[in-house]
Structure 1
Amino acid sequence: MPTDEVPINWKRNLYVAWLGCFLTGMAFSLVMPFLPLYVELLGVTAPEKLNLWSGAVFSITFLFSAIASPFWGGLADRKGRKVMLLRSALGMAIVMTLMGLASNIWQFLILRAILGLLGGFVPNANALIATQVPRNKSGWALGTLSTGAVSGALIGPLIGGLLADNFGLRPVFFITASVLFICFIMTLLYIRESFIPVQKKDMLHLRQVFSSLKNPRLVLALFITTMIIQVATGSIAPILTLYVRELAGSTQNLAFISGLIASVPGVAALISAPRLGKLGDRIGPERILIFMLIVSVLLLVPMSFVQTPWQLGLLRFLLGAADGALLPAVQTLLIYNASNQVAGRIFSYNQSFRDIGNVSGPLMGAAVSANWGFRAVFLVTASIVMFNALFSWFVQRRGPGRLPLPGD
């Protein structure tokens, strides 16, 4: 290491990265409450087309993020994670500005796709911190980092709604762009990384990446677990308000009750993630992962039989507390099984699976509810999570193993 290089303070990096994840999480969720209203402002007024376009502009960001993540992960392993954080924050700030200037729905759709292509702040922040933090503190550090995006996503809709009511829809995009630009400046000035660029010819290929892992089979199982966690979270989203209305009957404050029940899992995850991450450092993240998957199943099943919104809210709070441990446990196990040389790509592959879950979860929930009713969504989701718990346990017991790759 050159003698004039600034020493790395991983704790400071963690706190700055946490703030960056908070700001990006808040920036993304700022515009979520009024996306359908903005689609309507851009000229889509027929109810059936409004639903279709609103779904399209919401999901296309995750779809293109899933496609782009492996590319950015490979570039992060070559050029460093800090430069990827800067690229993501600045790119998203520019795209958000252009969204506020969009004049028709096609422009907006294309910009939402580009937003997905340019994203990746959170997985690169995870990779940066995971490769710097002492291994015996990985669970706590990644658990703490995960609360940044969660808390930002929680407060974003509230702030976005207030801003839209007071300033109009388009200015919110410009305010969001300003927040992302602040994130860019903060990352530029305060995050430190010691990284020696790798020549493209020296980069490991996909086969070599997986061959370098301590337990390739477990890593693939962790990718699937990440996807299923997001499927389980997203499957309930399309039917939550309607299910609350079915439980509550005629009520004057349906929107408030639904919003409260929608947000309580995030609050619980915010509280539980660092604590359960620290517990995982003591007893092992693999035990936390299996146990919390089983707890999730035991909480999802009774959601199908609740009789009041408050029963549903309590169960969702407990589910959020369990979910707060799942993704940090997955990320800790990923870094246990991957070298720093391939960490960027491993976290980006994991992000791709997460985005696939974000797209497929709501589609599954909508399809199940349309055919079998709202209550069936919870039972189907519980079955999928139970399968994942058994699959993860089986893979952990089998131990390291080589994966068959294309060309074998």
Structure 2
Amino acid sequence: MATNTIWKKNLYILSIAVFIAGIAFSEIMPFLPLYVASLGNFSHQELNFWSGFIYSGMFIISAITSPWWGKLADKKGRKLMILRASCGMAIAIGAMGLVTNVYQLFALRCLQGLFAGFVSNSNALIATQTPKEKAGQAMGTMASSVTAGTLLGPLIGGFLASVFSYRITFFITGFLLFVTFLMSLFWVKEDNFVVKSTNNIGKTKDVIKQFKSPNLIFGLLITTMIIQAANNSINPIVSLFVKQLLHGNGNVVLISGIIAALPGIATFTVASRFGALGDKIGTHKIIVGGFIGASILFLATAFVQNTIELGVLRFLVGFSDACLFPQVQTMLSKNSPASVTGRVFSWNQSAMYIGNIAGPIIGTTISGLSNYNMVFIVTTFLVLFNFLLFKLNVINNLPVSQD
């Protein structure tokens, strides 16, 4: 068991590190399509294809490789995987500033996906080193930090790209990730990790045998996937919905940016508080509240008449977000043996990436077949379906101590 000093120091260092990583991961997003356009003479259709292909390549590779990295984390240590991810992605992203065509950029995005896992392994290390009664607050703190970094990233990236250039911004992003590598190398300590403890836990079936309730664990993984799909079904159409509500009057780009940032701002302010409350009354109760709140807010959003109403509801959605994804991670940490936590969190990351891929497809398909309002209605039913699965697979299988 880690001492109070060690786990608190790890939490302090890694919360700063994932904040920096959040900035690094998101700051290239605003200009990635523009960078793609600078690498060739593309038609409008070709540019859309390559932008989407290059954007999604990282998530697809990460979803496939994350379980393997998680297995290695349980055998060799989570700190080693943190160092592997931060250094590998620093090199991959930095090298993107040197590419001369879209094929090279796509290959490096895939390489970035191969080395992904910094945040998930940081979460896994915190989960195994933090006392169970403090897990909710700790995971909430980590979620708040990475959310804050992700919010600031596009703003910083846009500023850097305008002051310097796209290529220089990639170099700076790689440097930021190298800083997280150095912070983790010198200041993070994985206390009492024993390599031999997982030598006999190789195959997935052996991992499953370690769970007191496999249905609970896999129910939480499904919950993560659907949460991400629901949230990301909205993201691609926000700016288009704003444009529709403005009726051609107003700054669509500015207002869309503000509204897109509002959920993250709300999540950042309350995630650690909800985590601490979950430690006291039961994390599953916080998640139930999140499902109820999200379903009401998504449904109400389908009937907004102006951007003020949309902004208010999107801000409130951030509070329901804070009740969901961070708290699912907390439940995973509380119900997973330390010997396989790396595997479990890597599965959770894969589930998250699958949701990231499926969500935009759902949103754009529904809006194409119907309208933007229908996207919010369909998302409401998706959240309610998730709630039902959560009740059947998670709440009904909770240990008595957490009921």
Q: TM-score range by the shorter chain?
A: over 0.9
| TM-score normalised per structure 1 | 0.95
1:137 aligns with 2:137: no
1:325-364 residue pairs with structure 2 within 5 A? 325-364=323-362
1:168-183 residue pairs with structure 2 within 5 A? 168-183=165-180
State the number of aligned residues: 398
1:286 aligns with 2:269: no
Partner in structure 2 of residue 85 of structure 1 = 82
Partner in structure 2 of residue 319 of structure 1 = 317
1:56 aligns with 2:49: no
Match of 1:376 among 374, 377, 389: 374
- CA offsets per residue over residues 167-219 of structure 1, 9 Å max, x none? 01110000001101111111111101122223875234211211211211011
Amino acid at match of 1:371: L
1:45 offset after TM fit, Å? 2.5
Q: Note closer, same or farther for the CA distance 1:339–1:57 as it changes in structure 2 (3 Å cut).
A: same
1:394 offset after TM fit, Å? 2.0
| TM-score normalised per structure 2 | 0.96
Give the secondary-structure state (helix, strand or coil) at the position aligned to 1:342.
helix
- CA offsets per residue over residues 235-293 of structure 1, 9 Å max, x none? 01111101001001122411110000000000000011011111100110111111211
Match of 1:110 among 107, 122, 136: 107
Contact 1:214 1:400 (8 Å CA) reproduced: no
Q: Which moved more, 1:272-281 or 1:194-203?
A: 194-203
1:1-400 residue pairs with structure 2 within 5 A? 9-194=6-191, 195-198=193-196, 201-399=199-397
Partner in structure 2 of residue 404 of structure 1 = none
Contact 1:238 1:366 (8 Å CA) reproduced: yes
Q: Note closer, same or farther for the CA distance 1:353–1:379 as it changes in structure 2 (3 Å cut).
A: same
- Mapped partners of 2:307, 2:83: distance in 1: 43
Q: Note closer, same or farther for the CA distance 1:165–1:359 as it changes in structure 2 (3 Å cut).
A: same
Q: Note closer, same or farther for the CA distance 1:172–1:397 as it changes in structure 2 (3 Å cut).
A: closer
Contact 1:62 1:359 (8 Å CA) reproduced: yes
Give the secondary-structure state (helix, strand or coil) at the position aligned to 1:192.
coil
1:395 offset after TM fit, Å? 2.2
- Mapped partners of 1:339, 1:300: distance in 2: 36
Q: Note closer, same or farther for the CA distance 1:44–1:146 as it changes in structure 2 (3 Å cut).
A: farther
Give the secondary-structure state (helix, strand or coil) at the position aligned to 2:339.
coil
Give the secondary-structure state (helix, strand or coil) at the position aligned to 2:196.
coil
- Mapped partners of 2:118, 2:363: distance in 1: 28
1:332 offset after TM fit, Å? 1.4
Give the secondary-structure state (helix, strand or coil) at the position aligned to 1:251.
coil
Amino acid at match of 2:227: I
Contact 2:217 2:394 (8 Å CA) reproduced: no
Contact 1:8 1:193 (8 Å CA) reproduced: no
- Mapped partners of 2:35, 2:100: distance in 1: 11
Q: Note closer, same or farther for the CA distance 1:49–1:376 as it changes in structure 2 (3 Å cut).
A: same
- Mapped partners of 1:287, 1:68: distance in 2: 32
Q: Note closer, same or farther for the CA distance 1:278–1:91 as it changes in structure 2 (3 Å cut).
A: same
Partner in structure 2 of residue 405 of structure 1 = none
1:301 offset after TM fit, Å? 0.3
- Mapped partners of 1:264, 1:321: distance in 2: 10
Q: Cα RMSD (Å) of the superposition?
A: 1.7
- Mapped partners of 2:181, 2:256: distance in 1: 34
Q: Quick one: percent identity of the two aligned structures?
A: 45
